[in-house]
Chains A and B, each alone.
Chain A
């Protein structure tokens, strides 16, 4: 009975329905591309079959089969041919030649797109987002039960985009399973359609400390001085970069892994802020800045335009409240002292600290000696030369030898 190649392979590779359920799919052999290794008709002996691997012969006396002449090299090649092909083929996983990213451009983890800079979103209706920068905060697989398909998985990507000058937007993009990039691109497009504006104090930080919450995520954000930097949750760092906040401290309490709720809470807090001008209008008072770099000299930042300025007599108790207390809604983040490392009270550690104790002033002395130009450089040679020089000056009597209570005696070397 003759069978075709695919039919024969099917006997090796197919699994029955019940076998599939029992997980036999993985134990089956894959279809091997045999023609890559064995060309039909080729053999170590170089047998020539007319019409198969040799030209057709029409003369009777030549015969249908002949053995061709081979050189030594050809024999060796044909014998080692398969091994060579197998060696060339990479065993194991696929090798990827990914370009190495600069540490500043890397994302949160490995080579994943999450956390990397993704560039500007595409233009919408003639509005281009050239100066925008996009960050993907999270890619996850979500699932939904349907009565037709059963459990349907979807990729969902949380994307933030912003121009670093107060404009920003965030959205969740979705795509079918395994289509991570599509989900991110969808998210980019949607984020660029949901742009909001955040007022920034001095173009670098928030106007006031705020508390915001979403689901189980609670966010305490604090205004910080110039040059403080971003001290917050890594996802919030990316959001701050997109918006253009440069100095902030944020403490997140509750769920720190629900990134959508985190983003939502933070952005809500930012949008609920009021500028100093608005505060002045609302309260009818001057908003005065007292900067520590100016020794707390009061300087008016905003004064009411449309409302009347209040006087001391018309002030209410609420107006006299400290501004920082006023905005906190009575909530403060939990402040935990940093736990000491486990070794801090071990005997060996304490012993080592005690051994280092005599040298605790060495560094400041070094700095002082170099600053006073006593020792040109803090190398062994330079210090030895300096000591030599001083020794000479003292032995010749140019400089007095320091003697007295608490100083060691000068003992002359015994001459042997």
Chain B
């Protein structure tokens, strides 16, 4: 066994280096060369930087939206100064950055096996295969040595399925069932995606599969394709899947719809970053980007040189030409969906501020038309003064409103 080990290791190293065409590049878009190392490209510094810049951090509605927790727990309340609040928010933003760490883009595992030895004298030693698994402390699930002795005497490395089974046998993952859930196959998957549960499905897939599992790669590509088809980019923005998603689109030369989405929101910098990303991923792309080009120039150049996408990027064109962001109505519809994505609506009372204390949405409601509110500034830290709001009533109903109108007239 000790003699064998270096041999096995070297074999596995070779297998990772020799890659044929990538699974992440679709055949339809493979007009360019196939020798791109996708895994390496994804972790390149400038690509990662562009992807991180493209992933906005929406704390309120996406990253830290209200979720169901396993244990019901009451919310905490604290008293904070402005500085303290800002510091806490900054910490939450750091936390969000950690949450939004991208799911790695990996090539699916090799299915091939290596034959290590053929010992004809061991033929028919038993009616079953014998599997030998390395369960030493420092062996991880990825690089664990698993070899199989076939009944005909051949000794070979295990295929991925056997490898997984042995991992599962010796190192169980709690609550991870053996069979993949039906949600990952179509009638149920379609239902889930119709309900905008893309993030949930992708998260579950991440948890269920390893990122280099062929099934995971297939599933995530399927979901990415459907998002791109149905223009539902808002379901995946500000999640940890947005990086791989954008990378996948750029790799397959399929960015116009996403560009259009950014254009509709009036995000010119994101548009330019997306074009830059495409260029970084596909250096042989026809669009040329100079070092010091402004965002607007990059986007305009892209539009000039890709006239064939003209009907796909109407919103972007409208934004560039007239500066018009997508209409209010559409945004509202969009945000409605957003809230539904976010879970339960927040139906608490609006916060009272000095701006709304006199209005209809203040504490007085409709009565604010009849009564005027005076806020008295107290000095220092009032101990037991409580609230220092004086409600001044000068009369009721019609008479009062008439008088007030007169006052207003005098002012004018």
Contact between chains at B351 and A307 (CB < 8 Å): no
- A298→B92 contact, CB < 8 A: yes
**Among the listed A288, A302, A309, which residue makes an inter-chain contact with B78, where contact means beta carbons less than 8 Å apart?**
A288
Binds B, one of A64-72, A83-91, A279-287: A279-287
- A residues less than 8 Å from B389 (CB atoms): 305-306
Q: Provided the pairs A294-B65, A305-B353 are in contact, do residues A224 and B74 lie with their beta carbons within 8 angstroms?
A: yes
Q: Does B137 contact A (CB under 8 A)?
A: no
A 208-251 to B, binary, CB cutoff 8 A, 1 in contact else 0? 10000000000000011111100000000000000000000000
Docked CA distance A303–B381 (Å) = 14
Q: Kindly list chain A residues whose C-beta atoms are within 8 Å of the C-beta of B388.
A: 281, 306-307
Q: Is B82 an interface residue (CB 8 A)?
A: yes
State whether A295 touches B64 (Cβ < 8 A): yes
CB within 8 Å for A292 and B69 given contacts A277-B387, A286-B80, A287-B79? yes
State the CA gap A322–B352 with chains docked (Å).
Answer: 24
**In chain B between 151 and 184, which residues have their CB closer than 8 angstroms to a CB of chain A?**
177-179, 182
Bound Cα distance A83, B100 (Å): 92
* Nearest CB in chain A to that of B357: its residue: A305
**A305 partner, pick from B80, B92, B354, beta carbons under 8 A:** B354
Interface window among A100-108, A140-148, A311-319, A348-356: A311-319
Q: Is the CB of A291 closer than 8 A to any CB of chain B?
A: yes
Contact in complex: A289, B85 (CB < 8 Å): no
**CB within 8 Å of A: which of B243-261?**
none
Interface residues of A in 391-416 (CB under 8 A from B): 403-404
B85 touches A298 (CB 8 A): yes
B76 with A290: CB separation less than 8 A: yes
Contact status A301-B77, CB under 8 Å: yes
**Interfacial residues of chain A within 337-363, with CB under 8 A of chain B in the complex:** none
Q: Is the CB of B88 within 8 A of A298?
A: yes
B382 on the A face (CB < 8 A) = yes
A340 to B177, CA, bound (A): 35
Contact A285 B77 (CB under 8 A): no
Q: Type the 1/0 row for B62-91, where 1 means its CB is closer than 8 Å to any CB of A.
A: 011111110011111111111111001100
Given A224-B74, A306-B376, decide whether A295 and B351 contact each other with a Cβ distance below 8 A. Answer: no
Q: Are A289 and B352 in contact (CB under 8 A)?
A: no
Against A, the Cβ 8 Å flags (1 = close, 0 = not) of B386-401 are 1111000000000000
Asked if A286 and B89 sit within 8 Å, CB to CB, the answer is no
Are the CB atoms of A312 and B81 closer together than 8 Å? Answer: yes
Complex Cα–Cα for A226 and B81 (A): 28
> Given A287-B79, A293-B67, are A225 and B73 also a contact pair (CB < 8 Å)?
yes
Q: Which of A225, A295, A300, A323 has the most CB of B within 10 A?
A: A295
Within 8 Å of chain A (Cβ to Cβ): is B95?
Answer: yes
A288 touches B351 (CB 8 A): no
Interface membership of B127, Cβ < 8 A: yes
Q: How far is the CB of B74 from chain A (nearest CB, A)?
A: 4
Give the residues in chain B near A307, CB-CB below 8 Å: 377-378, 381-382, 388
B378 and A403 contact, CB distance less than 8 A: no
B59 close to A (CB within 8 Å)? yes
Interface pair B81/A315, CB less than 8 Å apart? yes
B409: interface (CB < 8 Å): no
A280 CB contacts on chain B under 8 angstroms: 79
A117 CB–B CB distance under 8 Å: no
Q: Are B128 and A292 in contact (CB under 8 A)?
A: no
B82 lies within 8 A of A293 (CB):
no
Q: Is B43 an interface residue (CB 8 A)?
A: no
Given the interface pairs A293-B69, A297-B64, the reply to whether A323 lies near B78 with Cβ below 8 Å is yes
B348 contacts partner chain A, Cβ-Cβ < 8 Å: yes
Chain A contacts for B408, CB-based, 8 A: none
A253-292 vs B, Cβ < 8 Å mask (1 yes, 0 no):
0000000000000000000001011111111111111111
Interface contact B72-A228, CB-CB below 8 Å: yes
Within 87-113 of B, Cβ neighbours of A (below 8 Å) are at 88-89, 92, 95
A383 on interface, CB distance cutoff 8 Å: no
Assess whether A278 is in contact with B353, with CB atoms less than 8 Å apart: no
* Chain B residues near A311 (CB-CB < 8 A): 81-83
User: Could you tell me which A residues sit within 8 Å of B by CB distance?
Assistant: 202, 208, 223-228, 274, 276-298, 300-303, 305-307, 309-312, 315, 319, 322-323, 368, 371-373, 403-404
Which residues of B come within 8 Å of A, CB atoms?
59-60, 63-69, 72-85, 88-89, 92, 95, 127-128, 177-179, 182, 348, 351-354, 357, 375-378, 381-389
30 A-B contact pairs sorted by A residue (CB < 8 Å): A281-B382, A281-B386, A283-B381, A285-B81, A286-B81, A286-B85, A288-B77, A288-B78, A290-B75, A290-B76, A292-B76, A293-B69, A297-B60, A297-B64, A298-B80, A300-B351, A301-B77, A302-B351, A302-B352, A305-B354, A306-B376, A306-B388, A307-B378, A307-B381, A311-B81, A311-B83, A312-B84, A315-B81, A322-B78, A372-B179
Top 10 closest pairs, chain A to chain B, by CB = A291-B75, A285-B79, A297-B64, A292-B73, A290-B76, A293-B66, A225-B74, A306-B388, A294-B64, A225-B72
